[in-house]
C-alpha cells in the first residue's frame, strides 16, 4: 500500500475480518486506518482493492467509462467526464440553509419522498467526532435537511457504511470525487453493497483541509477552547456568494466568524493544511458519480449571496427524475453549456490537471502514486514554481501550527512571496503583450 490516504474508511468498512479501525490522528489532523495489508496475517487484499489511491486499481476514466460510456446519447468531455445534461439552478426553499443553491438537499428529499430510495448517507454535525462532523444514515426529510451545507473537514465513512451493509433497502450516498471512486471499487468487490447504493451524488472538490485548519482559524480569531459546532457556509447578506464566512458556535449563544476575504482566501488558495493526497488527485467533477453538484462560481451568479448550484447529470434515470420533479416543484433549473461549467471551476481544474502532474513528477517514487491525467496544455516554468511553492507550504503546515499563528504566517509568507510577486509580474507582462498585439484580454 502506498502512503497516500484521505481517511475515507471504506477499507475499514469492507474488511471481512473487521480488523481495521479508523483512528483520528492528532498529528495529521484526519482519520487513518489502524492497519494495512502488510500488517495483516489474512492478507486477503480487500482493503487494497477498494482504495482509490492504489495505482493498480481501476482508474477514474476506466470506472466511469464502464458505468456511463455505453448509455445512448451520452456525451463526454476530457475534464467533466460523461454527461447527459448540465444545469444551473437553485431551490428557493433550501438555498439559505445549504452550501450553494440547495439542489443536493432538494434532490435527496425528493428521491426519498418519491420512494426512489429508503434513505441517504449524508454528512452532518456530530459532536462526538474530533472534526465535529460525521457521515450518517438519514431516513426522514428532516434528517436530510439537518445535514445541508458543506463540511470542509475530514469525515470517516466506515461506521455508516457498516450500518448500511447491515440493512435492507437502497440509499443515495453523497460523496467527494475520491470517495465516489472508492465506493465504485467497493461495489465491484462486494456484491452485498451493490443493491444498497442506488445513487452516488458527487460534489466537486478542489481540496480537503485537515482539522489543523480549524485550529488555526480559531486561534487567529482569539477564541478560547474548541467550538461546539461549525457552519462552513454562513451566507453574508451584504456580500457576494463567494465571500461567505465559517461561523463557529462557542456556547452561550456566542459565535465567531472567519470571513472568506478576511481570513480564508489566502490559506485556501495557497493550500495551507491541505491533505497531501489532494496534491495527487485529478478528478474535479466526481466523474464516477451519477450526478455532480457544485457552486456556480460565474460572474452572472456569484453576486447573489443566496447561492446558485451547477449540476452535471450522468445517469439517465436521475436525469428524468430531476427534470420531472423540478418542473413539478417549481425548482429553478436551466440548461447551461459545458464550457460555462468548466469556467466555474478554473482554479480546481488548474490544480488538478496542471499542478498535480508536476507534484507527481517531483515525487521520489512516482510509480507508487495514482495515475494523473493532465490537460492538453503547455506546462510553463511558473507552473513548476507554483507547484513547488504550494507543495512546500502544504508540507510545513501538514502537522499543524508548530509554535504560534504569527510564526506560522511569517514562515508561509517567506515561502509564498517570491512566487506571488513573480506571478503578478507575469500577469502584467501578459496583459501588456495582449494590448500591444490588440488581442482580447484573457
Ligand atoms: C471538501 C469540499 C470541497 C469542495 N470544493 C468545491 C469546489 O472547489 N468548487 C465547487 O464549486 N464546489 C465545491 N464543493 C461543493 C460545494 O461546497 C457544495 O457542496 C455543492 O455546491 C452542493 O451545494 P448544495 O447547496 O446543492 O448542497 P446542500 O444542499 O448544502 O447539500 C450538501 C450535501 O453534501 C453533504 N456533504 C457536505 N460535506 C460533505 C463531505 N465532506 N463529504 C460528503 N458529503 C458532504 C451534506 O451532507 C449534504 O447532504 C466542495 C465541497 C466539499 C465538501
Ligand atoms: S488484508 Fe485487509 S481486508 Fe483482508 S483481512 Fe487483512 S486488513 Fe482486512
Ligand atoms: S480506502 Fe480510504 S481510508 Fe482506506 S487506505 Fe484508502 S484512502 Fe485510506
Ligand atoms: S481533492 Fe481529491 S483526494 Fe482530496 S478530498 Fe477532494 S476528491 Fe478527495
**DSSP-derived secondary structure for 94-160:** TGGGSSSSSHHHHHHHHHHHTTS-SEEEEEEE-TTSTTSEEEEEE-SHHHHHHT-S---S----HHH
For residue 1, name the pLDDT band (cuts at 50, 70, 90): very low
What does the pLDDT read at residue 268? 97
**185 has a pLDDT exceeding 90:** yes
Tell me the CA–centroid distance for residue 133 and ligand 4, in Å: 17
* Ligand 3 atom 1 nearest Cα: 51
More confident residue, 171 or 2: 171
Q: Nearest ligand to the C-alpha of residue 152?
A: 1
Least confident of 164-173, 202-211, 352-361: 352-361
Whether the CB-CB separation of 136 and 174 falls below 8 Å is answered with: no
At 49-74, the pLDDT tens digits run 999 999 999 999 999 999 999 999 99
CA of 40 to the centre of ligand 2 (A): 6
∠ CA 18-3-416 to the nearest 5 degrees?
A: 135
Write out pLDDT tens, residues 254-292: 999 999 999 999 999 999 999 999 999 999 999 999 999
What CA–CA distance (Å, rounded) separates 32 from 415? 29
Q: Is 174 in contact with 203 (CB distance < 8 Å)?
A: yes
Distance CA 410, CA 423 (A): 20
Question: What integer is the mean pLDDT of 167-171?
Answer: 96
Ligand 2 centroid vs 274 CA: distance in angstroms?
Answer: 28
**Does ligand 1 lie within 6 Å of residue 46's CB atom?**
no
> What is the arithmetic mean of pLDDT over 363-381?
82
Q: Which of 153, 210, 281 for mutating ligand 4's site (highest number of atoms within 8 Å of CB)?
A: 281
Which ligand is the nearest neighbour of the Cα of 189? 2
pLDDT tier, 440 (very low <50, low <70, confident <90, very high otherwise): low
Pocket of ligand 4 (CB under 6 A): 6, 176-178, 205, 207-208, 275, 277-278, 281
Closest ligand to Cα 145: 1
Percent of the chain with pLDDT over 90: 84
Which residue's CA is minimally distant from atom 6 of ligand 3? 51
Whether the per-residue pLDDT at 2 is higher than 90: the answer is no
pLDDT at 377: 66
- Above 70 in pLDDT, residue 203? yes
Average pLDDT, the chain: 94
Contacts of 277 (CB under 8 A, 6+ apart): 4, 5, 6, 53, 178
Question: Atom 5 (ligand 3): residue with closest C-alpha?
Answer: 5
Average pLDDT, integer, range 147-161? 97
3-state SS, residue 250:
strand
Mean pLDDT, residues 25-48:
90
pLDDT at 156: 96
Q: How many CB atoms lie within 10 A of CB 43?
A: 11
Give CA separation, 115 vs 91, 110, 298, 328, 366, in Å. Answer: 20, 9, 35, 16, 46
Q: pLDDT confidence of 321, banded at 50, 70, 90?
A: very high
pLDDT: which is higher, 42 or 248: 248
Residue 168 confidence (pLDDT) above 90: yes
- Give the closest residue (by CA) to ligand 1 atom 19: 150
Greater model confidence, 251 or 37: 251
List, in sequence order, every residue forming a beta bridge with 130; answer none if it has no partner.
Answer: none
What cell does 110 get?
425528493
Amino acid at each position: 500500500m502506498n502512503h497516500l490516504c484521505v481517511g475515507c474508511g471504506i477499507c475499514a468498512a469492507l474488511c471481512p475480518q473487521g480488523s481495521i479501525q479508523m483512528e483520528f490522528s492528532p498529528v495529521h489532523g484526519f482519520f487513518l486506518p489502524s492497519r494495512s495489508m502488510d500488517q495483516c496475517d489474512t492478507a486477503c487484499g480487500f482493503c487494497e482493492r477498494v482504495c482509490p489511491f492504489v495505482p493498480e486499481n481501476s482508474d477514474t476514466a476506466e470506472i466511469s467509462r464502464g458505468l456511463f460510456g455505453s448509455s445512448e446519447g451520452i456525451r463526454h468531455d476530457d475534464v467533466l467526464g460523461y454527461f447527459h445534461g448540465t444545469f444551473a439552478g437553485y431551490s428557493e426553499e433550501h438555498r439559505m440553509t445549504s452550501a450553494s443553491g440547495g439542489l443536493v438537499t432538494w434532490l435527496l428529499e425528493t428521491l426519498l419522498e418519491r420512494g426512489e430510495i429508503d434513505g441517504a448517507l449524508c454528512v452532518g454535525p456530530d459532536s462526538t467526532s474530533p472534526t465535529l462532523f460525521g457521515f450518517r444514515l438519514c431516513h426522514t426529510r428532516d434528517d436530510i435537511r439537518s445535514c445541508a451545507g458543506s463540511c470542509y473537514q475530514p469525515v470517516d465513512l466506515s461506521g455508516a457504511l457498516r450500518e448500511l451493509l447491515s440493512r435492507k433497502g437502497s440509499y443515495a450516498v453523497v460523496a467527494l470525487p475520491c470517495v465516489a471512486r472508492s465506493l465504485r471499487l467497493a461495489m465491484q468487490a462486494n456484491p452485498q453493497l451493490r443493491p444498497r447504493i442506488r445513487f452516488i451524488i458527487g460534489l466537486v472538490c478542489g481540496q480537503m483541509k485537515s482539522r489543523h485548519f480549524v485550529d488555526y482559524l480559531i486561534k487567529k480569531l482569539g477564541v478560547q477552547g474548541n467550538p461546539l459546532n461549525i457552519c462552513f457556509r454562513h451566507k453574508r447578506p451584504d456580500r457576494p456568494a463567494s465571500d461567505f464566512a465559517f461561523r463557529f458556535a462557542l456556547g452561550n449563544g456566542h459565535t465567531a466568524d472567519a470571513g472568506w476575504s478576511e481570513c480564508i482566501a489566502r490559506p485556501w488558495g495557497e493550500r495551507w493544511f491541505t491533505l497531501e493526497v489532494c496534491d495527487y488527485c485529478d478528478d474535479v467533477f466526481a466523474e464516477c458519480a451519477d450526478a455532480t453538484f457544485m457552486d456556480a462560481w460565474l460572474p452572472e451568479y456569484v453576486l447573489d449571496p443566496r447561492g446558485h448550484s451547477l449540476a452535471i447529470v450522468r445517469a439517465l434515470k436521475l436525469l428524468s427524475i430531476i427534470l420531472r420533479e423540478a418542473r413539478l416543484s417549481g425548482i429553478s433549473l436551466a440548461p447551461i453549456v459545458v464550457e460555462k461549467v468548466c469556467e466555474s471551476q478554473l482554479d480546481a481544474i488548474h490544480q488538478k490537471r496542471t499542478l498535480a502532474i508536476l507534484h507527481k513528477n517531483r515525487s521520489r517514487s512516482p510509480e507508487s502514486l495514482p495515475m494523473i491525467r493532465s490537460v492538453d496544455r503547455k506546462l510553463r516554468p511558473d507552473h513548476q514554481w507554483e507547484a513547488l511553492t504550494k507543495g512546500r507550504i502544504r508540507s510545513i503546515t501538514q502537522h499543524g501550527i508548530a509554535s504560534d499563528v504569527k510564526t506560522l504566517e511569517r514562515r508561509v509568507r517567506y515561502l509564498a512571496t517570491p512566487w506571488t510577486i513573480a506571478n503578478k509580474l507575469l500577469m502584467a507582462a501578459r496583459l501588456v503583450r495582449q494590448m500591444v498585439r490588440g488581442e482580447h484580454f484573457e
